[in-house]
């Protein structure tokens, strides 16, 4: 049976769009999800993460990050990595970044900070391992700390050299470090890492994994002792470490990790990786969510990671790196200006407050027990608002909704349906398959043809321009029958 369309129209009129750079496509504004990593935190901790789009789910609706690709070498081999591409710990295989010198990188950061004032974090994540290239990495951080003091510095590493650099990271005022930890059992590790380079020797097998594991734990402990926030990334490899990840989760929690980001293995033969060539598959969205849910009782989980490339620029869901290729940014004059950036950030804070106030009204007075949960797929350009045309969506944010809350649980990438005036049937089939487990699509606008096809597939359409959680909860209240208690 075709579900009836539901239309929710009024936008949140009292919320003005935040001022953004003219090149911004994000709208620079948004709201938080109720499972945000800021829940239950002290004010001090909240302040440390509130503008970091990876450490705070709420922040990723508002603030952008950028990476500079200054670190080409690596000191280990992961079976999901092909050195032709960027470090697969923090990027998807198939894209290669242009290498920069620290001076070029600093110039790029000042250019982007002027064009995208909501860019608050500079990360170094490859294309190899940043701490296998310590001079280039640390020199880049030094230059940026000096020239752009309001930008947070962030680094992602495999952890092998981390214990040797925690003091220098602390001296540079770096407050966010990611370690990729895929195992705490070297027998499992030997199936992921064929070798490491350690003390000028190549070491293989279980012994290599044991050294890597010990160095990762030592580095994690040193970060805790230095009061530097640590996020742990784990690549989920079905049949190899999927059942082992809860153990990893316990070990990192015991050593003070702030956030755990379990990411899916991305693997295909054309990537030329060991796993790709041997047919090792990645997890399905359902398998990934099950492991994330399993670990979420222990600590905060990151579910909004986009596995971005080593020269990524923009909000996490968008890729603006092509606007800032080397030939382009070297021709641009830096427009970094602390005062105008502060003005933009103040605007974002006001906008967030307005959205928070709108969300408070959604909470039921008393928690409703055992209400059924449904998934909805949201088309959004950012800002925590349903504000994107269905045909333009290149990903859908997935929210789990019940009678109490709407909770962000992940995102699914798709090909956009609309190709400048005509719709792509293959894309629509793929979109329908990708969101088949969702009860509804929330979008600002949708054409008659895709609307009919989605309805045929049993998916409701909600056309609205409003706060995501508000639209999702209203949809739920109007469409999901609660069993009498």
Query: Binding residues for ligand SF4, per CB under 6 A?
Result: 74, 76-78, 81, 87-89, 128-129, 158
What is the distance of C-alpha 66 from the center of its chain? 12
From the list ligand SF4, ligand CLF, none, pick the one residue 67 interacts with, judged by a Cβ distance below 5 to 8 Å according to partner type. ligand CLF
Angstrom distances, CA of residue 393 to CA of 71, 296, 382, 419: 33, 29, 11, 11
From residue 178 to residue 217, the character string flagging contacts with ligand CLF as x (rule: CB under 6 A) and all else as - is x---------------------------------------
Q: Which residues contact 30 (CB under 8 A, 6 or more apart)?
A: 58, 61, 62, 351, 352, 355, 382, 383, 384, 385
Q: Which is nearer to ligand SF4, 53 or 128 (CB)?
A: 128
Least CB distance to ligand SF4 at residue 81 (A): 3
> Which residue, among 16, 67, 11, has the nearest Cα to 346 in the 3D structure?
16
Among 120, 307, 321, 380, indicate the residue that binds ligand CLF (CB under 6 A). Answer: 307
Quick check: 393 binds ligand CLF (CB under 6 A)?
Answer: no
Residue nearest to ligand SF4 (CB): 81
What is the rounded CA–CA span in Å between residue 3 and residue 34?
A: 28
CA 279 to chain CA centroid, nearest Å: 26
Residue showing tokens 């700390």 = 145
**Which does residue 76 touch among ligand CLF, ligand SF4, none (CB within 5 to 8 A, set by kind)?**
ligand SF4
H or E element that contains 186: helix 186-189
Q: Residue 388 CB, nearest distance to ligand SF4 (Å)?
A: 32
The item of ligand SF4, ligand CLF, none sharing an interface with residue 229, based on CB under 5 to 8 Å by kind, is none
CB 442 within 8 A of CB 475: yes
User: Does residue 418 belong to the site contacting ligand CLF (CB under 6 A)?
Assistant: no
Query: Please, are residues 95 and 85 in contact by the beta-carbon 8 Å criterion?
Result: yes
Question: Smaller CB distance to ligand CLF: residue 220 or 305?
Answer: 305
3-state class (DSSP) for residue 6 = strand
Distance, in Å, from the CA atom of 410 to the CA atom of 19, rounded to the nearest integer, reads 28
Name the segment binding ligand CLF (CB under 6 A); options: 16-24, 286-294, 306-314, 409-417. Answer: 306-314
Query: Is residue 194 within 8 Å of residue 77, measured between CB atoms?
Result: yes
Q: Which does 18 bind (CB under 5 to 8 A by kind): ligand SF4, ligand CLF, none?
A: none
Closest CA to 310 of 77, 90, 63, 75: 90
**Contact (CB, 8 A) for 426 and 363:** no
For ligand CLF, which is the closer residue by CB, 24 or 307? 307
Which string of x and - marks every residue 258-297 that binds ligand CLF (by CB under 6 A)? ---x------------------------------------
Smallest gap from Cβ 163 to ligand SF4, in A, equals 16
Q: Which is nearer to ligand SF4, 130 or 382 (CB)?
A: 130
21 binds, among ligand SF4, ligand CLF, none (CB under 5 to 8 A by kind): none
Minimum distance from residue 21 beta carbon to ligand SF4 (Å): 32
Q: Establish if 315 lies at the interface with ligand CLF (CB under 6 A).
A: no
Strand partners, 190: none
Least distance in angstroms from the C-beta of 119 to ligand CLF: 10
Nearest-angstrom CA–CA distance, 33 and 380: 14
Of these, 154, 230, 398, 428, which contacts ligand CLF (CB under 6 A)?
154
Q: Is 136 helix (H, G, I), strand (E, B) or coil?
A: helix
Stretch that binds ligand CLF, among 32-40, 191-199, 300-308, 400-408 (CB under 6 A): 300-308
User: Cα separations (Å) of 238 from 59, 215, 268, 269, 420?
Assistant: 30, 25, 14, 17, 39
The site map against ligand CLF for 160-179 (x = CB under 6 A) is ----------------x-x-
User: Of ligand SF4, ligand CLF, none, which one sits near residue 435, judging by CB under 5 to 8 A according to partner kind?
Assistant: none
Angle at 144 between CA 157 and CA 344, to 5 degrees: 105
H-type helices in 226-374, by residue range? 245-254, 274-277, 285-296, 326-329, 338-360
59: contact with ligand CLF by CB under 6 A: no
Q: How far is the CB of 224 from ligand SF4 (least distance, A)?
A: 22
Q: Which partner, ligand SF4, ligand CLF, none, binds residue 261 by CB below 5 to 8 Å per kind?
A: ligand CLF
305 binds ligand CLF (CB under 6 A): yes
Distance CA 354, CA 385 (A): 13
Q: Closest CB to ligand CLF among 21 and 59?
A: 59
* 393: its two tokens: 């969506």
CB of 142 to ligand CLF, least distance (A): 17
**Pairing state between β 229-236 and 385-386:** unpaired
Site for ligand CLF, residues 67 to 126, rule: CB under 6 A: 67, 90, 121, 123, 125
Please give the Cα distance from 448 to 76 (Å, whole number): 52
Please say which residue, 182 or 416, places its beta carbon nearer to ligand SF4: 182
Does 159 engage in binding with ligand CLF (CB under 6 A)? no
Binding site for ligand CLF (CB under 6 A): 54, 65, 67, 90, 121, 123, 125, 154, 156, 176, 178, 231, 261, 305-308, 316
């Amino acid at each position: 049976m075709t579900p009836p369309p539901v239309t929710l129209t009024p936008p949140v009129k009292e919320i003005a769009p935040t001022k953004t750079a003219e090149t911004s496509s994000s709208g620079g504004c948004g709201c938080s999800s109720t499972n945000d990593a800021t829940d239950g935190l002290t004010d001090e901790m909240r302040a440390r993460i509130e503008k970091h789009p990876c450490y705070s789910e709420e922040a990723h609706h508002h603030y952008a990050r950028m990476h500079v690709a200054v670190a080409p070498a690596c000191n280990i081999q992961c079976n999901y990595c092909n050195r032709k591409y960027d470090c697969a710990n923090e990027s998807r295989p198939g894209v290669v970044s242009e290498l920069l010198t620290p001076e070029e990188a600093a110039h790029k950061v000042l250019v982007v900070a002027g064009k995208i004032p909501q860019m608050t974090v500079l990360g170094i994540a490859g294309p190899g391992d940043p701490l296998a290239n310590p001079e280039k990495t640390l020199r880049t951080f030094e230059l940026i700390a000096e020239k752009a003091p309001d930008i947070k510095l962030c680094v992602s590493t495999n952890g092998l050299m981390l214990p040797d650099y925690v003091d220098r990271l602390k001296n540079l005022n770096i407050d966010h470090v990611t370690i990729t930890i895929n195992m705490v059992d070297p027998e499992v590790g030997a199936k992921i890492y064929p070798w490491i380079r350690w003390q000028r020797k190549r070491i293989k097998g279980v012994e290599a994994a044991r050294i890597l594991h010990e160095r990762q734990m030592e580095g994690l402990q040193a970060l805790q002792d230095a009061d530097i926030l640590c996020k742990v990334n784990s690549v989920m490899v079905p049949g190899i470490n999927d059942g082992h990840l809860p153990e990893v989760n316990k070990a990192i929690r015991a050593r003070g990790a702030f956030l755990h980001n379990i990411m899916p293995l991305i693997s295909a033969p054309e990537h030329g990786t060991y796993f790709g060539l041997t047919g090792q598959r990645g997890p399905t969205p359902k398998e990934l969510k099950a492991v994330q849910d399993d670990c979420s009782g222990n600590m905060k989980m990151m579910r909004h990671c986009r596995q971005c490339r080593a020269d990524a620029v923009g909000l996490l869901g968008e890729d603006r790196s092509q606007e800032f290729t080397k030939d382009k940014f070297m021709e641009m004059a830096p427009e970094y200006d602390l005062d105008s950036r502060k003005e933009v950030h103040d605007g974002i804070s006001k906008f967030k407050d307005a959205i928070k106030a709108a969300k408070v009204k959604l909470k039921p007075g008393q928690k409703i027990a055992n209400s059924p949960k449904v998934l909805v797929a949201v088309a959004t350009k950012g800002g925590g608002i349903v504000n994107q045309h269905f045909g333009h969506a290149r990903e859908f944010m997935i929210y789990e909704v019940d009678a109490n809350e709407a909770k962000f649980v992940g995102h699914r990438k798709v090909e956009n349906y609309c190709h400048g005036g005509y719709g792509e049937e293959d894309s629509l089939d793929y979109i329908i398959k990708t969101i088949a487990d969702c009860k509804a699509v929330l979008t600002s606008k949708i054409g008659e043809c895709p609307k009919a096809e989605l309805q045929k597939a049993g998916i409701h359409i909600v056309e609205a321009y409003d706060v995501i959680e508000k639209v999702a909860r209203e949809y739920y209240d109007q469409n999901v029958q609660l069993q009498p208690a």
